[in-house]
A and B are shown apart, each in its own frame.
Chain A
Amino acid sequence: QKEVEQNSGPLSVPEGAIASLNCTYSDRGSQSFFWYRQYSGKSPELIMFIYSNGDKEDGRFTAQLNKASQYVSLLIRDSQPSDSATYLCAVNPSSNTGKLIFGQGTTLQVKP
C-alpha cells in the first residue's frame, strides 16, 4: 500500500463545475496535510493546508480532512480553465520533521 494515494486521473470537469480531488494516507499518526498545484514544467505551489478534522475554506478552495477515515480532499468551486493542472496531496508523517510524503498527483482538466 502506498503511503499517500491519489487517483492519477485525468479528472475532467466543465468550466463552472465543482472539482473534487481525493487523497488517502496510510500513517494514522500523520499530523498535517497539504495540497499543492503543479502546472506542467513548473514547480509545486502550495494552495491549502489543513491540520484539524473538518473543512477549511479559502476562496474557491475547500480542504476537507477526516482523520478517522485517513482521507483528505480538495474541492474547487466554479472551476476555471486556469485550474487545469496536477494537484499533489502531501502528508507530514511527524510533527518533528519537515519531511512530506507526496501522492502521485491527480491531473485536472477544466474544459471551457
Chain B
Amino acid sequence: NAGVMQNPRHLVRRRGQEARLRCSPMKGHSHVYWYRQLPEEGLKFMVYLQKENIIDESGMPKERFSAEFPKEGPSILRIQQVVRGDSAAYFCASSPPTQGAGGYTFGSGTRLTVV
C-alpha cells in the first residue's frame, strides 16, 4: 500500500519559469492538502482540495499559484513565473473522507530551488 507520492523530489527552475509539483494521494483518499516549508520555518498551509473541488485556498498566494485535483490523476500545484522566494519544500498530505482533521500522512516532498 503505497503512501503519498510526490514528484519530482527535487526541482530546479530559473526565475520566470513554471514549476509543476505532483501529488498522488494514498489509495482510497480523496482529500489532498498542500503545505509549504520555507528554510528554517514551520509548515504553512496552502490549499485543501477534494476531487474536482477546492475546499480551502486561504493559504495560497494571490498571484502565480494555483492548484487542482482532477477526477483522474494526481493533484497538481502550479507556480507560474517563479521567483527566488518560492524556493522551499512543498509537502502534500492526503486523508480519506471520513477521517478527522489533521492526522494525515505527508509525502516526501518536492524541494524547489529557483536559480
Contact = CB atoms under 8 A, between A and B. Distances in A.
Do A and B actually bind?
yes
Interface of A: 31-32, 34, 42-46, 49, 51, 88, 90, 92, 94-105
B26 to A, nearest CB: 13
Interface residues of B, number: 25
Contacts of A51: 100
Contacts, number: 66
B104 A44 contact: no
B69 interface: no
B66 to A, nearest CB: 18
Interface of B: 31, 33, 35, 41-45, 48, 55-56, 58-59, 91, 95, 100-109
Contact of B102 (A96, A100, A105): A100
B100 to A, nearest CB: 7
Q: Is the contact region of chain A dominated by helix, strand, or loop, or is it mixed?
A: loop
Nearest to B92: A43
Contacts of A94: 101
A42 B89 CA distance: 10
